[in-house]
Structure 1
Amino acid sequence: MPDSLLIFSIGPVQGFIAEARRAQDLWAGSIWLSEITREALLACQAQGATPVYPADLAQPSLPNRFVVRVPSDRAEQAARAAEEAAQAALRKRARRAQQALAGHVPGDDTWEAIWQRQLDHHLEVHWAAVPIGAGGYADAHQAASRTFEAAKRTRRFEQVLEDGFKDSLGGTRSALRTGEMDGRAYWQAVAGKVNASMLRPDGRERLDALGASKRFGFEVQAFPSVSTVAAAAFLLRAGTEQPELLAAHAQRVGRLGVFSVPQVGQRLPALEAVTWPYDGDLLYQETLTVKRLKADYGVEPSEAGCAAARASLRALEQALGSAPSRYYAILTMDGDAMGEHVSACRSPEELAELSRRLAAFAQQATQIVDRRYAGRVVYAGGDDLLALLPLPDPELAVRDAEGQPAEGAVRPDAILAACDLERAFTAQFAGWPEEALPRRRDGRTVPFGISAGLAIVHHRYPLGAALGAAHRAEKAAKTVAGKAALAVHVLVRSGEPTEACAHWQGLREAYGQARNLFARGALSPRLAHNLAEAAPAFCAPGPEEAFAAEVRRVAQRQRNRSKLSPEQAGEFARHLTGWAASAGLTPPMLAAWLLVASFCTREGGAE
């Protein structure tokens, strides 16, 4: 009897990863889903299956869909075993959270019924198995993919009633409660037993079984908050240039009675030499008030204590010449036409090789984000990536512009990080056999590529909305002809958002040059705003030279005469418009990229 090809997926991804109010929730959901997938794959192996995709089960993040080769008479048995293993892995992590909660506020039959119901109905498992016939592996994979997609369109999951107060993460399931306490009262009681690093005070945060498992089933504060990511560049400079002032501020913060967390280097590996045992939120003047500290940390310090902490922070800001950025970036990346590339593989060995290259990219991506750019990867599995990144620090950008940074130097910049990730992805598939590439109807091959969405948002902006903005940006990048593009959406707290999109080719150089000139003060931010106002007038059909001349004119007017010569301003304008022409950018889109570069340098070192 021939072997079969089994495709198996576990969801919902939204419920595991995207339902989050804190960065810790994102990270925990990602780890949890990978744990469940790994156990399902191991269960298939125990039934005689051979993993095809992913090939490496040891990688930290696994895609939620896998392919195995299994004896046909054991295909259904393997799928059932995988489903049982997935449920067991779900409950193993949940049990840890259940025990933690019982130690704070014991549940009852009502609580237990909600807990069991939500775990019983959460997983969405789909699978399809097709024998590998005379047509070989490629035909079997295409047939299995069609059967699998048909199975996904047939909803087999029972709808259940979720009453009472809803959970704060997804807003669709019942918050855990007891027979005596409703969802608000129960979580208010829990909040009274744990510090604010776990749960917002006064019952303002209510969790269901899945949210509670993310929050209480993992190590506390193993992942940085978005405020810590936003402040990363500031912390990097403070820890290396003004460690005494940073330590003095930490002492003042400690006297306020707020909770401490693991050292920042444990949360942001690039900052391992920096000593800061608190959340990054405590590096903002607006946090250091009696009202905010009571609301967010559950403490009531004196006004004098808050004033002293604000003064120590002000001294640090003055010494560095800047305050922490109030903005950070969420990056999502997704391989282009990866389904076609998977289907184009002619053998299990070829698909396994594709899987190995994707795993190598995931490892490289973690190094790039976590070490080189002072960010943190949430998820890197297969061709998907989700990461949090800080904006550039203007002072560091100036130093880089004046000379090459030292080998291994940490240089926060979300857009440059995205560009380096794209280069790493493309390099992984250099030399891939052309005959193994998918083809369009006209015979053209489809190269390996990746598109990305980057949302730049305020650190107090709701995380769910920020994630949505990043995914919308990624979708915009995918709509560009040929894909292989980056879209950036900047969401300011007041004013119109800025949206920019371009292919990767030439983007790193054009953005980097503009960023450095803005950071040095060689060009005024008014350059970007003036061109944004003028650009619509140049959208009608006409010579491209007209807008190029306008760029040169405005660059001359907005240059700092002591830092940029007329010749240098002209050369910058020619390089910029040349890139725009080769990339097919409209005048408004070129202006949008200048607005993005100006914003990143301005907000990266907020004054």
Structure 2
Amino acid sequence: MDGQDLVVIALSGVQRFIEESRSTSDLRAGSRIIAELTEQAVSVCQESAAELVFPAPSKKRKDVGMPNRVVALAPAGQGTTLAQRATARVNEKWKEWLQKTLGRIEETPGMPAVTWAVAPPRPGGYPEQWKEAQRRLAARKQVRNFTALEARNGPCQLSPHWPATTKPPKGLPSFERDTLSAANWLKRKLGRPNDKESVSPYGIPSTYGIASAPFRIEVLKNINDPDVTEQVDYLHQVVQDEDTGIHIPNWPLPGMPKPQGELAQWLWRHGGQWVYTDSWSAESLAREFRKPTSGEAFDNFSRTVEIGRIAAADLQKIMRDKFQVAPPSSYLAILVQDLDGMGSYLSEEKNLSHKRHTEISDQLRRVAERQTELLHDSALLGVAVYAGGDDLLAFLPAATALAGARACRQAVTEVSPELPTASSALLFFHRKYPLRLALAASREALAAAKNVPGKNALAVSYLRRSGTQETYVQKWALPDHNDPEALVCDRLSLFTRSETGARLSPGLLRDLERDSHALCTLSLDLFTAELQRLVHRHTLAPTSEQQKAFALKAAEQLRLLGRPTSALEDSEKISEQSLIAAARVAVFLRQECR
């Protein structure tokens, strides 16, 4: 082992490239591009006499993704050649993709950006090589190439640091209007769904498809009901009609079982957008699909679109009246997770060996596979953009988001309690809200969670279409002798559902915002009594008994959620900031998680 070079190869600018996306398919395609480029570097290591340390081999890489860093041990003196071959292989794959997508190769400075470092054999063996490789890699990343490019067609709309390509790819759909760089056209083309494929490693459903999934599952359960069939058939006919021309191919959710029958399969895969009545605006659809916006042609188009709007409204009414199913939620959630201090963990003396790093690499593989398996289950209806073991980005319907955050956090401890703790952020956002802004907000929420003393925290945020937002941050586990196993997401979940139909009124926020300062100066007993009174006053329920029962539970959870995040503070104290944030999030969850 002492006679081997330690080689570290990293792809830089990964998060920026992935998240400079307009759609979920752009996002997923960006993630898969990075994964496949990393696989090119891995393949060079596997073809040579090098021994792979990170990442661990996996048969499920197309589902779980690939870390953007490769660590290998090569025969002494061969490390530099190995790193150079891996870099060349990555660049060759990138050019191959550009040629296939655009029919030519264009400059994309900084993409792919491969940085590598080699630590030759030295006294102290692997631990000293690891430290040296990290120092060299950090130094290499400080050296940048700056290439001046002329933006004759203006900047790329997704990545302004790149110029827009001189000529977009052929065969674009009529609604495609973006002006993109060569790198982003590659993402767009790889992620774009079509009607021939039902599964692709590059594609995931749209925000509409994810947000409406729980509602569509209920519709599919009752698809043989004549009233349901009739309305879904109306939607199908209008969307698929060639004269209307508003069909948008989509990808199905992994957790939604494929149903039998053409009509049910259309709803399963393509119907996510069309179960919302506000999707049926003739003016908006005409602009999107480049149709006349006035005159007789527009009048005819408007009448056809109105049939779709009425069908969507009638379908929601039938599901509510006959099957007690609420309308589709307009919200979905982004889940981001990051293991706390992973770099320091790898450099700890107890972990700093070739054997231990190999074990950790395999543990991260198992975490990624388990998280992906959980997210793609029918119980959660989620979809992973990438799962690397030490980090995660996924989407979930609003109704299952808290359960998904809990499951993905638990997956880490199930694989190995020795791994670092996980901090997470859950951002609820409107299906029409710009995806890039939502992703940026989720990163801010994750930063807030990781800023909690001791980390190991969850941030729950919402971002309304109007721009109104709130973030509640708390340690994953709150001290509570009555329910020591409950996590913060379990406490918030009380507000997402109620078998009795009890719910909080938004009026609670007005009273809490007005009186919170005075409330937080009371003794714990007086504070609890007054909070119970306020919550009871603003609880709506079918009966007074149900109102009282829900109010007592809700007040107790708000009291616990209102504790300070700092472990240095008295756990019995109430933080005014935490209490208000928790109440705002609780009201939001009750309104939108269905």
TM-score normalised to the size of structure 2? 0.84
Q: Find the counterpart in structure 2 of residue 33 from structure 1.
A: 34
How far did residue 367 of structure 1 move?
Answer: 1.9
Q: Find the counterpart in structure 1 of residue 427 from structure 2.
A: 455
**2:204 aligned to which of 193, 209, 223:** 223
Q: Gaps (5+ residues) in structure 2?
A: 195-202, 292-297, 321-325, 478-486, 566-570
How far did residue 249 of structure 1 move?
Answer: 2.5
- Confirm whether residue 550 of structure 1 aligns to residue 549 of structure 2: no
Q: How does 1:155-174 map to 2 (within 5 A)?
A: 155-174=144-163
CA 1:122–1:460 in 2, change beyond 3 Å: closer, same or farther?
A: same
Matched-pair contact (CA < 8 Å) for 1:162–1:172: no
Identity of aligned residues (%): 26
How far did residue 68 of structure 1 move?
Answer: 0.8
Matched-pair contact (CA < 8 Å) for 1:327–1:604: yes
**2:410 aligned to which of 416, 423, 447:** 423
Q: How does 1:52-451 map to 2 (within 5 A)?
A: 52-56=53-57, 58=59, 59-60=61-62, 61-99=65-103, 112=104, 115-118=105-108, 121-177=110-166, 193-196=171-174, 200=176, 204-218=177-191, 220=193, 222-242=203-223, 243-244=228-229, 245-255=231-241, 256-261=244-249, 266-273=252-259, 275=265, 276=267, 277-278=269-270, 280-299=272-291, 302-321=301-320, 322-344=326-348, 345-371=351-377, 372-392=379-399, 413-430=400-417, 432=418, 448-451=420-423
CA 1:522–1:121 in 2, change beyond 3 Å: closer, same or farther?
A: closer
2:548 & 2:270 partners in 1: Cα distance? 47
Q: Find the counterpart in structure 2 of residue 8 from structure 1.
A: 9
Matched-pair contact (CA < 8 Å) for 1:94–1:217: no
- Confirm whether residue 486 of structure 1 aligns to residue 437 of structure 2: no
1:117 & 1:354 partners in 2: Cα distance? 38
Structure 1 residue identity aligned to 2:442: A
How far did residue 466 of structure 1 move?
Answer: 1.0
1:418 & 1:210 partners in 2: Cα distance? 32
Q: Find the counterpart in structure 2 of residue 50 from structure 1.
A: 51
2:499 & 2:588 partners in 1: Cα distance? 9
How far did residue 289 of structure 1 move?
Answer: 2.3
How far did residue 177 of structure 1 move?
Answer: 1.7
1:88 & 1:15 partners in 2: Cα distance? 22
CA 1:294–1:359 in 2, change beyond 3 Å: closer, same or farther?
A: same
**2:476 aligned to which of 499, 504, 527:** 504
Matched-pair contact (CA < 8 Å) for 2:28–2:191: no
Q: Secondary structure at the residue paired with 1:176?
A: coil
Structure 2 residue identity aligned to 1:367: E
Structure 2 residue identity aligned to 1:428: V
Matched-pair contact (CA < 8 Å) for 2:27–2:385: yes
Moved more, 470-479 or 57-66: 57-66
Moved more, 575-584 or 235-244: 575-584
2:47 & 2:448 partners in 1: Cα distance? 42
CA 1:468–1:581 in 2, change beyond 3 Å: closer, same or farther?
A: closer
How far did residue 513 of structure 1 move?
Answer: 1.9
Q: Find the counterpart in structure 2 of residue 400 from structure 1.
A: none
Structure 2 residue identity aligned to 1:212: W
How far did residue 532 of structure 1 move?
Answer: 4.1
Moved more, 326-335 or 271-280: 271-280
Number of equivalenced pairs? 536
2:509 & 2:416 partners in 1: Cα distance? 37
Q: Gaps (5+ residues) in structure 1?
A: 100-111, 179-185, 393-412, 433-446
Matched-pair contact (CA < 8 Å) for 1:38–1:57: no
Q: Secondary structure at the residue paired with 2:273?
A: helix
Q: Secondary structure at the residue paired with 1:569?
A: helix
Structure 2 residue identity aligned to 1:254: Q
Matched-pair contact (CA < 8 Å) for 1:44–1:81: no
Matched-pair contact (CA < 8 Å) for 1:514–1:594: no
Matched-pair contact (CA < 8 Å) for 2:427–2:441: yes
Q: Secondary structure at the residue paired with 2:405?
A: helix
CA displacement, residues 40-69 of structure 1 (integer Å, 9 cap, x when unaligned): 121133332111011225423111112111
2:56 & 2:421 partners in 1: Cα distance? 21
CA displacement, residues 445-478 of structure 1 (integer Å, 9 cap, x when unaligned): xx61111122222211111111111111111111
TM-score normalised to the size of structure 1? 0.82
2:492 & 2:125 partners in 1: Cα distance? 47
Structure 2 residue identity aligned to 1:318: K
Q: Secondary structure at the residue paired with 1:282?
A: coil
CA 1:597–1:320 in 2, change beyond 3 Å: closer, same or farther?
A: farther
Give the superposed CA RMSD. Answer: 2.6
CA 1:582–1:293 in 2, change beyond 3 Å: closer, same or farther?
A: closer
Q: Secondary structure at the residue paired with 1:280?
A: coil
1:519 & 1:324 partners in 2: Cα distance? 20
2:550 & 2:308 partners in 1: Cα distance? 45
Q: Find the counterpart in structure 1 of residue 480 from structure 2.
A: none
CA 1:319–1:423 in 2, change beyond 3 Å: closer, same or farther?
A: same
Q: Secondary structure at the residue paired with 2:527?
A: helix
2:402 & 2:390 partners in 1: Cα distance? 19
2:456 & 2:515 partners in 1: Cα distance? 29
Q: Secondary structure at the residue paired with 1:26?
A: helix
